[in-house]
Structure 1
């Protein structure tokens, strides 16, 4: 069986063997809730007319979607909000939510006069359940958006969007710092500025400002990723770069005033991502590790989809073939019934999971009744649709 995790050696700390290999994709969204990564939608040239998300399974998105914005929220931060994006159909409702505990998709009607349909936005959630979505591209007006949209996710019965106007852009990243500052990096910008010109939005004062960050010169890039480490570094990876000689990985250190860019030396021993520039991928921080997944890259004029997941130890910028999460694993069998609200279609799926623990190794055998997108990536370096791992910190 082809392993969806790239670069495992013969003695990994953790291996997950599943009867499912996820479809390749790019421009998808990932949301981390309770040590699970939820992969939502995405684009694949092989499925322009019949994308895999049309096939029902118990986590089916009610429509095909890519380049949407997604973030968590709700009263217990267990709900995923999916906003806008390029959709195969169902453009009647701008916002959908997915409850990760009840497994119910719900649509949220909005007054169409209060918003413009956008794709290529990015969103973050603060500790009050307020979701900030910035920028994007309008397929109707064929222009980029200058709006920062604010969604009060805890008011589920009457969701509303307010906005704050700033510079237009799309294909960028947004990162929320602990002090309430949102750092907006890169993307397609009208003035075509590089990464040395960073946009800040202060959620405390509702104000925007630009900051120029020097030390190293970096050209513009878009469709990259940015993750925040526990010690305040923003790691930017990949993207479509104006200057192909710019390093794939650069780091913005927010512990300095002003912030500082650097390009640390990256280990290329354990199967790093392609050297031709990954973009349209996803990146998430799990402890001291960054997990990259999917996306695509170019070799000459050919676009190639990546089916792999890559892991970096952000303490020393080393690509690794395994990691030890320092957790115990509690795996159970679930029978799950779910529904899409406003329809009568109900699907029941059973998942049978067996776990065998041998010292620090856990070998998992999985039987999955249905295997279609969206994908759930368990944060113990395993990929599966329907396995639930409950982690207990040691």
Structure 2
């Protein structure tokens, strides 16, 4: 009997050791793109350091408790057709299972050489199959875009503002201008159009965040912009009330159930090199979109379980938990080499606390509470400025459709409010 018990114990120990040894651990990376699909956070591609680009698709399954000490990563059996960095992705609002990957810098995964990519790929999260999406009407099919952020409305239209043009014919991803076009992809008709913004046009910019509110407004926060050929981060405080928030790019933003936008991390270094980083302070800030003008606040947060400061990371929100993954570690001193993060971090957006496991909180989809604020200095008020917008197709035979738009200007329109439902 004792021998049987000992044998069973040994078998359990060996099984545990086997699972521990065989558990998949993805490489550290940055400049990936991520999308939440039902209970899975998918991570697509990324730069694993020293210009090594990956076509991996990895995911976290949130249907089970998530622990920061040992996150259960899964590697998808089918990777992206090419190695991708600096692309944007969004989930289809029509079928809730297709992820659109748009733009980015594309490399051959075998030799890392630049290749001319399709503008749009589609990932079927049910079958794990990839499809090249053929579209019409894009303003220039000889280029692609990177460092932009897409959102999709309920009608299946993807809105993409700005970004940097990448012309693969010159063989240098640093070549190409920043733009301030608003490009729209209708995923039902597979046609592109452009919004003709006649007033308060934002400056050329990249590396911002885009958040679609329930009322159809898109909120653009932070970025790296071009002003008179000079590249700089944008002031984030001139057109809202509340605490002073440092300029930043390459940060993240998630939307809570009660209409608060929580930003994390970012890079405050004014440098054209993405490897040159400087911590953006504070690490966490909250924008209340339920009042006018909008208001920044800085929550008082315990340092327990707190993450390293990061930029070029991924962030998604699920059941009131913000999940942070990968990215470049930043510090209060200017860094010119990359230190990559391979951890995940969990932030409880109801209680404003970093946690080690999703099992330590009560999972709820109920509206979240307001953020407790610090006593940081206040910024100035301003008004929302109206602008006239028309949506125009690059096909000259198409009809014009008028939509409503308004801009909140942070010196150079740091927050853009676009009515995405038409």
Q: Quickly say closer, same or farther: Cα 1:103–1:306, change in 2 above 3 A.
A: same
Structure possessing the higher radius of gyration over alpha carbons = 2
- Aligned partners of 1:245 and 1:326: how far apart in 2? 31
Q: Partner residue of 1:161?
A: 192
Is 1:265 matched up with 2:284? no
Matching residue of 1:136: 163
Q: Tell me which moved more, 88-97 or 120-129.
A: 88-97
Task: Give the match's secondary structure for 1:26.
Answer: coil
Gaps of 5+ in 2: 1-18, 58-74, 109-114, 168-174, 228-232, 270-277, 364-422
Give the alignment's Cα RMSD to 1 decimal.
Answer: 2.5
1:187-210 CA-to-partner distances (Å, cap 9, x unmatched) read 01235531125xxxxxxxxxxxxx
Which residue does the alignment assign to 2:123?
Answer: 98
**Aligned mates of 1:83, 1:245 — CA distance in 2:** 27
Q: Is 2:250 the counterpart of 1:216?
A: no
Contact 2:259 2:288 in 1 (8 A): yes
Q: Normalising by structure 2, report the TM-score.
A: 0.64
8 Å Cα contact 1:42-1:65 kept in structure 2? yes
Alignment match, 1:375 = none
1:312 to 343, 347, 353: 347
Native 8 Å contact 1:151 1:161 kept in 2: yes
Helix, strand or coil: the match of 1:312?
A: strand
Change over 3 Å in CA distance of 1:23–1:244 after alignment to 2 = closer
**Residue in 2 aligned with 1:193?**
234
The equivalent position to 1:182 in structure 2, one of 218, 223, 231, is 218
Give the match's secondary structure for 2:358: coil
Matches within 5 A, 1:232-271: 232-241=259-268, 244=279, 246-270=281-305
Match of 1:72 among 91, 96, 111: 91
Alignment correspondent of 2:311: 279
Count of matched residue positions in the alignment of Structure 1 and Structure 2: 290
Structure 1 residue 293 corresponds to structure 2 residue 334 = no
- CA distance in structure 2 between the aligned counterparts of 1:154 and 1:111, rounded to whole angstroms: 12
Q: Distance in 1 between matches of 2:303 and 2:283?
A: 12
TM superposition score normalised by structure 1: 0.68
* 2:99 aligned counterpart, secondary structure: strand
From the superposition, tell whether residues 74 and 230 of structure 1 become closer, same or farther in structure 2 (CA, over 3 Å): closer
In 1, Cα distance between equivalents of 2:138 and 2:34: 29
Measured against aligned partners, the alpha-carbon deviations of 1:199-255 in whole angstroms (never above 9, x if no partner) come to xxxxxxxxxxxxx11322223200000000011110011000258572111110011
SS in structure 1 at match of 2:242: coil
**1:318-357 counterparts in 2 under 5 A?**
318-324=353-359
1:129 is displaced (CA, Å) by 1.8
CA shift at 1:91, angstroms?
2.1
Partners of 1:326 and 1:313 lie apart in 2 by: 10
Give the SS at the match of 1:241: coil
Asked if 2 retains the 8 angstrom alpha-carbon contact of 1:73 and 1:154, the reply is no
| 1:103 to partner: Cα distance | 2.0
Q: Structure 1 residues 269, 143: CA separation in 2 closer, same or farther (over 3 Å shift)?
A: same
Cα 1:296/1:244, change in 2 over 3 Å? closer
Higher relative contact order (CA 8 A, sep 6+): 1
Matches for 1:44-59 after TM superposition, within 5 Å: 44-46=48-50, 48=52, 51=54, 53=56, 58-59=77-78
Alpha-carbon separation, structure 2, partners of 1:257 and 1:113: 36
2: distance between equivalents of 1:256 and 1:135? 27
Q: Are 2:151 and 1:124 equivalent residues in the alignment? A: yes
* Pick aligned residue for 2:100 from 76, 81, 88: 81
Q: Deviations over 1:255-275 (max 9, x none)?
A: 1111100111111112x111x
What does the per-residue CA deviation read over 1:90-122, in whole Å, with 9 as the maximum and x for residues that have no partner?
A: 424110001112221010234586234110010
How many Å separate the matches in 1 of 2:320 and 2:137?
A: 42
Query: Hey, which of these two has a bigger chunk of strand by percent?
Result: 1
Report the Cα distance in structure 1 between the residues aligned to 2:222 and 2:185, rounded to whole angstroms.
23
Contact 2:248/2:280 (<8 A) preserved: no
1:34 to 38, 45, 69: 38
Quick one: distance in 1 between partners of 2:193 and 2:55? 34
Q: Distance in 2 between matches of 1:160 and 1:193?
A: 32
